[in-house]
A = this chain, B = another copy of it.
Amino acid sequence: MSKKKPTIIDIAHATGLSKSLVSRALAGKAGVGEESRTRILETADRLGYKRNTWATSLVKGSSHMIGVIATDIASTYRLEVITGVEDAAAEAGYTALLAHGRRDPEVLAERLAQMHSLGVDGVVVVSSRMPSGPLSAVARSTPIVIVGRPAEAPVGVDLIHNDDETGGALATQHLIDIGHTRIGFVASSQRAAIRAREQAWRDTLAAAGLSDDFLLRRQNEEDLAQRTMNELVLSDDPPTALVASTDGLAAAIVGAAQDRGLVVPDDLAVVGYNNSSLSTQLRPQLTTVDQPRHEMGKLAVEMILERLAGRTTDRVTVAEPRLVVRDSSSTSVPATPTTVHRDANNAPATPSG
């Protein structure tokens, strides 16, 4: 059974000094006799004393903790955002506390309430699915920044997200640049970020005079790769390249294509989004769009510190993504299975590396 934890009073008794003095010594404050100090520290060590955070926070009114709530923690992207938060927090003398929210808005809201009553000094929400109501309510007393792109910007909450418009354009333009003219977009959700990428895809195609016919949108990833095969890739009028809304979806599409004997990128080029670890584990490795996620995590903490320092206006920070070209998009134009509607394009004939 667990023994009772030693308190400051125990140390005071053991050393014969007052608890005030013990408290000061333990906090490393000046104005404590050298002898007393060492005696206190030694005794504390011997007793295995750990400061009771509850009591300290209660009296100080601040926990020096920053809460982080994330949906679906098992993601390279989120992990690095979290790491960024941790690093920046540590640097500022804060510690980060995580909560795992799942995708359910209710669970997310519950986690937020938990963080709130835990008394964290700020919270970083790495999700675009947190409901606005609870968010704005908590934001009245605790700074919140969302890393992600919620459907609507909650009042009193800061935002930081990558420039999905630029990212989507980067991906699409890359495919145009290497000679593709039949470029599709597959979306596994209707989140704002995804919609922005889709719009960028459409705009980029339009600027190049290309068709945006190849579009597939679903509310979740279930079977989406299969449908992509059946409804787009294996149709009579197939695209030669696809922009997928995320790496996970891109991976599923590559897998489904390979299952059908197609060669990526020769038969189908695929570009993902997020530069997840998956993108280098697959063969071919995935061309994808990288977000400055560690940086975004650090920025989130900075924005919280600004609020804590007195800023009252809402702030939105947009980070620039960059394209990472790998093997799932080759520099050669595919030998299309069925050569229909093919525009006159000067595609380089370089074989895929």
Residues of A in contact with B (beta carbons under 8 Å apart)? 1-5, 48, 50-55, 57-58, 63, 72-76, 78-79, 82-83, 86, 95-100, 102, 113-114, 116-119, 137, 140-143, 248, 251-252, 254-255, 258-259, 277-278, 281-283, 307-308, 310-312
Contact B53 A312, beta carbon cutoff 8 Å: no
Q: A1-B312, A53-B54, A95-B114 are in contact. List 5 more A-B contacts (CB 8 A).
A: A83-B102, A98-B99, A278-B278, A281-B281, A281-B282
Q: Chain B residue with minimal CB distance to A281?
A: B251
Instruction: Give chain B residues whose Cβ lies under 8 Å from the Cβ of A114.
Output: 95
Nearest CB of B to A132, in Å: 15
Q: What are 17 A-B contacts defined by CB distance under 8 Å?
A: A2-B308, A48-B140, A50-B116, A50-B117, A53-B117, A53-B118, A53-B119, A54-B54, A54-B57, A54-B58, A72-B79, A73-B74, A74-B74, A74-B78, A251-B281, A254-B283, A255-B282
Instruction: Give chain B residues whose Cβ lies under 8 Å from the Cβ of A140.
Output: 2-3, 48
Q: How many copies does the complex hold?
A: 2
Given A48-B140, A73-B79, A99-B98, A255 contacting B278 (CB threshold 8 A): no
Q: Chain B residue with minimal CB distance to A51?
A: B117
Most buried by B among A72, A137, A278, A312: A278
Measured CA separation A112–B39 after assembly (Å) = 26
Nearest CB of B to A345, in Å: 30
Measured CA separation A248–B74 after assembly (Å) = 14
Nearest CB of B to A252, in Å: 7
Most buried by B among A102, A113, A114, A143: A114
